[in-house]
Amino acid sequence: MSPKPPSPFVDLKESVAMPAWICVTCGVQYPDTGRPPAHCPICEDERQYVGWDGQQWTTMSDLARDHAVVLREEEADLVGVGVEPAFAIGQRALLVCTPHGNVLWDCVSLLDDDARAQVDDLGGIEAICMSHPHFYAANIEFADAFDARVFIPRADEKWIQRSSPLIELFDDAAEPVPGVSLARIGGHFDGAAVLHWPAGADGGGALLTGDTITVVQDR
């Protein structure tokens, strides 16, 4: 019996890796799909904006062609994580290093090989926490890379654009690692949160706020 000829049809699910699209304006990553989403709900919300050129998308591989992740020590056991040149709204994350595991506070849209190796050298990531949806960025990409838990307030559940079993919803407070506390205080978003790191600032304690608390002029 002669062998069966190959099918002219290709199973796209098996042969093509679907890209996880990233909004160029806000930097939030969306699910793996063959085509980019029609809209970015985060940018269409009144607290953000759609760029003058309309909705645009990129992927992490495309972003890595002309951008890189840069890690800088801010103080002992606190490392800034940014993207250069600046991308989206210029998000910066902070890696809090503790004896019980590291916590990534806020997130960025790119994770390249060099950054992954540097974070591995620092002890990896145990948990990811974010101040509000404008800083969700590529949190699931980071979570998958380091097998990290992602803490998101239940009040902001509707703003999750890329779901994952690594996401853990909380109501008002959580402890991502022993000795570090996460609190939902509301404000910018219903679930806007802050991270308290008692060992920060040479033992004086540090409160990481993202955009949840910010200083503006009154006139």
Q: How confident is the model at residue 17 (pLDDT cuts 50, 70, 90)?
A: low
Asked if residue 3 has pLDDT above 50, the reply is: no
The model's pTM: 0.88
Tell which wins on pLDDT, 11 or 144: 144
Q: Where does the pLDDT of residue 211 fall: very low under 50, low under 70, confident under 90, or very high at 90 and above?
A: confident
Is the predicted pLDDT of residue 36 greater than 80, yes or no?
yes
Q: What is the mean pLDDT of residues 128-150?
A: 97
Q: Which domains, ranges and CATH numbers included, belong to the chain?
A: 73-158+165-208 (3.60.15.10)
Residue type, 108: V
User: What's the order of all strands across the beta sheet hosting 20-23?
Assistant: 29-32, 20-23, 57-58
